[in-house]
């Protein structure tokens, strides 16, 4: 994995879950400095708070780890416009399209996601891989 790669929110969330196999995969990605977007940070906060009902301290620790171990990309107007084009072309939801647009903008070759179409190639440069298959 010498090329830049992006991890989706669902992959990063396994860092705070007890599923050992999936958690080990997520931890392995952190060692290789993945790219994430601020959207991934925000989605992780929301799920940790609302769905997992984790304490603020655990959420803060998780988010600090993401900020320290990942390249965190911002979302710009261009990212949003690219996401809309992806939505129209590939028929993903807007938020999934925004993840894809962020990965493309950051020159990632692989997007690791559990929720998107495994082995799909986007714009001839980005391959979606489900790391848990």
Q: Within the chain, what is the greatest distance between any pair of CA atoms?
A: 42
Please determine, for residue 107, whether its predicted confidence score (pLDDT) is greater than 60. Answer: yes
- For 15-73, the pLDDT digits (tens) are 998 766 799 999 999 999 999 999 999 999 999 999 999 999 999 999 999 999 999 99
Q: Which CATH superfamily is domain 5-129 in?
A: 5'-nuclease (3.40.50.1010)
Q: What is the mean pLDDT of residues 103-127?
A: 97
Note the pLDDT of residue 2. 58
The model's pTM is 0.94
Please determine, for residue 1, whether its predicted confidence score (pLDDT) is greater than 50. Answer: no
Q: What percent of the chain is predicted at pLDDT more than 90? A: 94
């Amino acid at each position: 994995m010498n090329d830049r790669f992006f991890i989706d929110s669902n992959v990063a969330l396994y860092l705070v879950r007890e599923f050992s196999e999936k958690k080990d995969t997520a931890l392995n990605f952190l060692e290789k400095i993945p790219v994430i977007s601020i959207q991934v940070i925000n989605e992780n906060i929301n799920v940790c708070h609302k769905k997992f009902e984790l304490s603020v301290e655990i959420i803060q620790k998780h988010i600090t780890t993401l900020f320290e171990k990942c390249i965190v990309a911002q979302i710009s107007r261009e990212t949003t416009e690219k996401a809309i084009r992806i939505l129209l072309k590939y028929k993903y939801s807007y938020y999934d399209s925004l993840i894809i647009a962020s990965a493309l903008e950051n020159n990632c070759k692989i997007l690791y996601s559990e929720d998107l179409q495994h082995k799909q190639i986007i714009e001839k440069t980005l391959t979606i891989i489900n790391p848990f298959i």
